[in-house]
């Protein structure tokens, strides 16, 4: 079926659809002729021929004739469905062209009215001005009415597509799709993984087209990641391929499915969503029908498209780098996603990198680069094992103040913790043999700590940098389900302090809801230096990356090296944290306050 949009619901060629109907009708006629010949052969066999062999032949020819009759009937049914679909598309296109022409005329009239400025200044209540304003209001109302009629045409096209798909994928021609009671009743409620496993690629694609909500429904009812892993392992290669190609929105985010399969599925969805969003933007900027939209109608690029393109860019490996995998891609707006640097299906040591405030998939490329830095540092520190680092933008992080004050609460952290626990448990179910770590920055440490304080989840090592504070319910490192906990913190400074340091982490820890500082000795984490005491670059900013290379996860920083040592089990090489002295600015500030008293 042709790709259509809400602005062009009549897309497609009714002539081509009718040609397909003609071919199916011809197939039906040829099958009818063949059925007639088979029936005659059975009749001849029974004429004067008696015995078991004659009876067997008559039975076989009768059964074959019945099957051919069914095939011919199906072909005739398909031809009828295609003809009806062609008629509906043609009607929709005709109505669309009529609406577009009317909208174009109204747009021209509105533009002309907008340019009818009086030569002489007029009073606000001038009768001519009031008449002109009423005229423009009426024109805008008529245009809005036409837009509503366009939307109705889109719904009509969607219904026509659904009816045609159902007619052309009936159980007699496509197998098990309509055999499921939930589908025959018009609802997908009750369909589970076991039902999907036996469907063909086309059946799956059709089902998920008719019921897009099914991906979330099945995922929620799939059971534990261990259950899904067992189900996936029991499938044949053909079944797995059908599911990846026919139901990519489900498979791409289903914990327990191998990550290479999820990557393949998510790339299918990513490409489709980018194409759909680009088409939508194109229609908004230059809709069909020959009219020019007014300024409020024009949307340059949506946030979703920016994020989707950024996710696509983040999948490109640098020169000499290893492969990258799109291991999750949600339907949220903007989408959430996770990109793995390295193969999660085979890596010995895996790290989930959890970002902090101000991070979204609109910046997926940058967070993937930070994950790449971690991976490269791990490989240099421990070349004997395979490493993979997940750039996990799987939760909605708070915006940077003053855009939002969510960073001072824990609601987003707890919501993100639920998603992070799901991802970590999914990995543990599939790869219990691998080492599992978390690296968390800024508010990401609030989220990671909330996740690792929940029962049932476990990681080998947690490394925190630039913490915005852990939830107040977490008193010590022993409250976290991590075998080892590490923390690195640059000097806390005010944003106007020329000495440089972390200007945001301490602000986050002013929150009553997440005030716990993991670098405090009483917390019990192993503190590591980020100050450049080993001759490497120091951290002089809250960010993970800066143009000068002084972020927490920038290359050639002491911070990144210590993160690599912490996440590869080389504690003896970690340079210890030493509490910094006050900066000259702080000393001068304190001295000035003291002199005032």
Is the pLDDT reported for residue 237 higher than 60?
yes
Task: Average the pLDDT over 85-94 and give the result.
Answer: 90
* pLDDT-based confidence at residue 177 (cuts at 50, 70, 90): very low
Whether 318 maps to a domain, the answer reads no
Name the residue with higher pLDDT: 144 or 311.
Answer: 311
Task: Average the pLDDT over 188-212 and give the result.
Answer: 83
**Terminal C-alpha separation, the chain:** 81
Task: Average the pLDDT over 56-66 and give the result.
Answer: 69
- Is there a single domain that holds both residue 111 and residue 244? no
Q: Give the whole-angstrom CA distance, residue 506 versus residue 491.
A: 9
Q: Are 323 and 296 in contact (CB under 8 A)?
A: no
**299 three-class SS:** coil
Q: Give the whole-angstrom CA distance, residue 373 versus residue 351.
A: 12
Q: Give the whole-angstrom CA distance, residue 55 versus residue 64.
A: 14
Tell me what pLDDT residue 178 has. Answer: 44
Tell me what pLDDT residue 300 has. Answer: 41
Helices (H), strands (E): how many in the chain?
A: 19, 8
pLDDT digits (tens, 9 = 90+) for 424-460: 999 999 999 999 999 999 999 999 999 999 999 999 9
Q: Give the whole-angstrom CA distance, residue 111 versus residue 292.
A: 10
> Which one of 135, 168, 201 terminates a domain?
168
Say what percent of the chain tops pLDDT 70: 85
* pLDDT-based confidence at residue 85 (cuts at 50, 70, 90): confident
Task: Supply the DSSP string of 285-351, one letter for each residue.
Answer: HS-SSS----GGG-----HHHHHHHHHHHHTSPPTT---EEEEEE-SSSSPPEEEEES-TTT-SEEE
* pLDDT-based confidence at residue 554 (cuts at 50, 70, 90): very high
* pLDDT-based confidence at residue 109 (cuts at 50, 70, 90): confident
Residues 6+ apart with CB under 8 A from 463: 437, 438, 439, 440, 486, 487, 488, 563, 566, 567
Tell me what pLDDT residue 117 has. Answer: 53
Longest dimension (CA), the chain: 128
* pLDDT-based confidence at residue 38 (cuts at 50, 70, 90): low
Residues 6+ apart with CB under 8 A from 154: 4, 5, 6, 9
Residues 6+ apart with CB under 8 A from 459: 424, 436, 437, 438, 452, 481, 482, 483
- Is there a single domain that holds both residue 378 and residue 521? yes
**292 three-class SS:** coil
- Is there a single domain that holds both residue 144 and residue 201? no
Tell me what pLDDT residue 276 has. Answer: 86
- Which strand (E) or helix (H) includes residue 202? helix 201-210
- Is there a single domain that holds both residue 254 and residue 347? no
Tell me what pLDDT residue 545 has. Answer: 97
Is the pLDDT reported for residue 301 higher than 70?
no
Tell me what pLDDT residue 350 has. Answer: 98
Name the residue with higher pLDDT: 6 or 276.
Answer: 276
- The alpha carbon of 418 is separated from its chain's Cα centroid by a whole number of angstroms, namely 17
* pLDDT-based confidence at residue 29 (cuts at 50, 70, 90): confident
Is the pLDDT reported for residue 39 higher than 60?
yes
Whether 5 maps to a domain, the answer reads no
Task: Supply the DSSP string of 525-565, one letter for each residue.
Answer: -EEE--S-TTSSBPP-SSSS--TTS-STT-TTBHHHHHHHH
Residue 96 has a CB neighbour count (10 Å cut-off) of 23
Whether 181 maps to a domain, the answer reads no
Whether 315 maps to a domain, the answer reads no
Tell me what pLDDT residue 331 has. Answer: 94
Tell me what pLDDT residue 3 has. Answer: 63
Residues 6+ apart with CB under 8 A from 424: 352, 436, 438, 451, 457, 459
CA-only gyration radius of the chain, Å = 32
pLDDT digits (tens, 9 = 90+) for 503-541: 999 999 999 999 999 999 999 999 999 999 889 999 999
Q: Which of 103-112, 118-127, 320-329, 379-388 has the lowest mean pLDDT?
A: 118-127
For the chain, give the mean pLDDT. 86
Tell me what pLDDT residue 286 has. Answer: 61
Q: Which of 402, 479, 389, 405 lies closest to 440, judged by CA? A: 389
Is the pLDDT reported for residue 247 higher than 90?
yes
Any idea how long the chain is?
597
- Which strand (E) or helix (H) includes residue 261? helix 259-285
Whether 223 maps to a domain, the answer reads yes
Say what percent of the chain tops pLDDT 90: 55
Tell me what pLDDT residue 184 has. Answer: 46
> Which one of 255, 278, 297 terminates a domain?
297
Is the pLDDT reported for residue 45 higher than 50?
no
Task: Average the pLDDT over 16-31 and give the result.
Answer: 84
- Is there a single domain that holds both residue 331 and residue 273? no
- Is there a single domain that holds both residue 547 and residue 443? yes
Tell me what pLDDT residue 569 has. Answer: 97
Q: Give the whole-angstrom CA distance, residue 87 versus residue 78.
A: 14
Name the residue with higher pLDDT: 471 or 72.
Answer: 471
* pLDDT-based confidence at residue 55 (cuts at 50, 70, 90): low
- The alpha carbon of 322 is separated from its chain's Cα centroid by a whole number of angstroms, namely 23
Partners of residue 557 on adjacent β-strands: 537
Partners of residue 470 on adjacent β-strands: 516
- Is there a single domain that holds both residue 479 and residue 513? yes
Whether 529 maps to a domain, the answer reads yes
Q: Are 371 and 378 in contact (CB under 8 A)?
A: no
Whether 275 maps to a domain, the answer reads yes
* pLDDT-based confidence at residue 306 (cuts at 50, 70, 90): very high
Whether 345 maps to a domain, the answer reads yes
Q: Give the whole-angstrom CA distance, residue 326 versus residue 339.
A: 5
pLDDT digits (tens, 9 = 90+) for 112-165: 887 765 544 455 567 777 788 888 888 888 888 887 787 788 778 877 877 777
* pLDDT-based confidence at residue 2 (cuts at 50, 70, 90): low
388 dihedral zone (left: phi>0; alpha: psi -120 to 50; beta): beta
DSSP-assigned letter for residue 482:
E
Q: How many independent structural domains does the chain possess?
A: 3
Residue 515 has a CB neighbour count (10 Å cut-off) of 13
Beta strand pairing call for 482-488 and 459-465: parallel
- Which strand (E) or helix (H) includes residue 439? strand 435-441
Is the pLDDT reported for residue 205 higher than 50?
yes
Provide the residue range defining the domain that includes 100: 14-168
- Is there a single domain that holds both residue 448 and residue 551? yes
Q: Which of 35-39, 82-86, 511-515 has the lowest mean pLDDT?
A: 35-39
Tell me what pLDDT residue 40 has. Answer: 67
* pLDDT-based confidence at residue 256 (cuts at 50, 70, 90): very high
- Is there a single domain that holds both residue 293 and residue 348? no
- Is there a single domain that holds both residue 473 and residue 539? yes
Residue 246 has a CB neighbour count (10 Å cut-off) of 22
Q: Are 558 and 532 in contact (CB under 8 A)?
A: yes
pLDDT digits (tens, 9 = 90+) for 451-485: 999 999 999 999 999 999 999 999 999 999 999 99
Q: Which of 157-161, 356-360, 379-383 has the lowest mean pLDDT?
A: 157-161
Rounded to 5°, angle at Cα 290 from 289 and 292: 110
- Is there a single domain that holds both residue 155 and residue 270? no
Task: Average the pLDDT over 351-379 and give the result.
Answer: 97
Q: In CATH, what number is assigned to the domain containing residue 76? A: 1.20.1270.60
Tell me what pLDDT residue 52 has. Answer: 66
- Is there a single domain that holds both residue 380 and residue 494? yes
Tell me what pLDDT residue 130 has. Answer: 77
Q: In CATH, what number is assigned to the domain containing residue 431? A: 3.40.50.1820
Is the pLDDT reported for residue 61 higher than 90?
no
Name the residue with higher pLDDT: 140 or 188.
Answer: 140
> Which one of 297, 313, 340 terminates a domain?
297
């Amino acid at each position: 079926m042709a790709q259509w949009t809400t602005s062009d619901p009549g897309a497609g060629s009714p002539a081509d659809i009718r040609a397909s109907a003609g071919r199916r009708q011809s197939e039906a006629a040829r099958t009818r002729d063949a059925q007639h010949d088979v029936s005659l052969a059975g009749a001849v066999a029974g004429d004067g021929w008696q015995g078991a062999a004659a009876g067997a032949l008559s039975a076989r020819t009768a059964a074959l004739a019945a099957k051919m009759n069914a095939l011919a009937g199906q072909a005739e049914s398909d031809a009828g469905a295609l003809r009806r679909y062609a008629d509906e598309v043609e009607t929709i296109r005709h109505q669309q062209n009529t609406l577009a022409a009317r909208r174009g005329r109204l747009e021209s009239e509105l533009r002309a009215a907008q340019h009818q400025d009086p030569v002489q200044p007029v009073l606000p209540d001038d009768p001519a001005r009031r008449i002109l304003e009423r005229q423009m209001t009426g024109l805008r109302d008529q245009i809005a009415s036409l837009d509503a009629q366009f939307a109705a045409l889109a719904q009509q096209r969607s219904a026509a597509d659904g009816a045609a798909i159902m007619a052309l994928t009936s159980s007699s021609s496509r197998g098990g799709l309509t055999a499921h009671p939930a589908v025959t009743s018009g609802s997908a409620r009750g369909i589970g993984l076991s039902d999907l496993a036996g469907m063909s690629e086309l059946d799956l694609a059709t089902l998920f087209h008719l019921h897009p909500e099914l991906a979330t429904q099945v995922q929620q009812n799939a059971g534990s990641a261990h259950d899904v892993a067992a189900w996936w392992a029991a499938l044949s290669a053909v079944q797995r391929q059908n599911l990846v190609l026919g139901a990519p929105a489900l498979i791409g985010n289903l914990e327990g499915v191998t990550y290479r399969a999820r990557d393949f599925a998510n790339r299918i969805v990513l490409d489709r969503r980018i194409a759909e969003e680009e088409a939508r933007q194109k229609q908004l900027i230059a809709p069909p029908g020959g009219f020019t939209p007014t300024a409020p109608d024009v949307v340059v690029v949506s946030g979703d498209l920016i994020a989707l393109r950024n996710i696509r860019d983040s999948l490109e490996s640098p020169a000499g780098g290893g492969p990258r995998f799109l291991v999750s891609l949600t339907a949220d707006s903007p989408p959430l996603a996770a990109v793995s640097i390295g193969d999660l299906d085979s890596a010995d040591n895996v790290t989930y990198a959890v970002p902090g405030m101000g991070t979204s998939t609109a910046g997926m490329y940058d967070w993937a680069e930070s994950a790449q830095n971690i991976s490269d540092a791990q490989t240099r520190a421990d070349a004997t094992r395979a490493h993979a680092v997940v750039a996990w933008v799987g939760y909605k992080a708070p915006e940077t103040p003053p855009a939002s004050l969510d960073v001072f609460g824990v609601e987003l952290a707890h919501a993100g913790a639920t998603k992070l626990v799901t991802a970590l448990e999914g990995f543990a179910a599939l790869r219990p043999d691998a080492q599992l770590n978390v690296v968390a920055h800024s508010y990401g440490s609030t989220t990671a700590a909330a996740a690792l304080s929940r029962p049932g989840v476990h990681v080998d090592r947690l490394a925190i940098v630039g913490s915005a504070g852990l939830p107040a319910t977490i008193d010590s490192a022993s409250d976290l389900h991590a075998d080892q906990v590490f923390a690195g913190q640059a000097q806390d400074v005010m944003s106007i302090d020329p000495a440089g340091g972390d200007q945001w982490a301490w602000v986050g820890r002013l929150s009553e809801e997440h005030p716990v500082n993991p670098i405090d000795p009483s917390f019990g984490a192993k503190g590591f230096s980020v100050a450049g005491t080993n001759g490497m670059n120091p951290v002089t900013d809250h960010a993970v990356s800066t143009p000068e290379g002084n972020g927490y996860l920038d290359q050639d920083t002491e911070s990144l090296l210590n993160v690599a040592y912490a996440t590869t089990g080389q504690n003896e090489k970690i340079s210890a944290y030493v509490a910094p002295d006050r900066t000259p600015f702080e000393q001068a500030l304190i001295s000035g306050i003291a002199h005032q008293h």
